[in-house]
A = this chain, B = another copy of it.
Amino acid sequence: MGRPVKGRPRLKLWVVFGDVKFGEGRAELLDAMERLGSFKQAVERMGMSYRAAWGYFRELERAAGLKLLERRPGRGPQGGTRLTPQGRLFLRRYRRFRQGLDPLVARYFEQSFRD
């Protein structure tokens, strides 16, 4: 019974501000927005509702006390809705957290199921 178990851990993860959750789907939406330079196009690409997505980020900004999105005038790579510097920092931190967690959890799983 001391042998390690065959399974592996799987986790879903959010960062929660009050009653507003931020997770992988919304992080992908922000990535797509940065790539496309357009919130609207990113939302369509992800098959989301524009109103719901915009309302969600309003709520997130309020709950987190962060300004994440800004609309910049004009077309081209600088125009349209973009992440603020605060928004870029938040997304970078989330990515670091999310990616670093998998090996941490895997190691802890091995420990927990072996001793």
Query: How many copies of the shown chain assemble into the complex?
Result: 2
Q: Is the interface of A mostly helix, strand, loop or mixed?
A: mixed
**Contact (A9, B15) CB under 8 Å given A104-B108, A108-B97, A108-B101:** yes
Instruction: Give how many A residues have a beta carbon under 8 Å from the other chain's beta carbons.
Output: 34
Contact A109 B85 (CB under 8 A): no
Contact B112 A93 (CB under 8 A): yes
- Report A12 CB to chain B, min CB distance, Å: 4
**Contact (A8, B13) CB under 8 Å given A97-B108, A104-B108, A109-B97:** no
**8 A-B pairs with the lowest CB-CB distances in the bound complex, closest first:** A97-B112, A7-B15, A12-B12, A7-B17, A11-B13, A10-B16, A93-B113, A10-B14
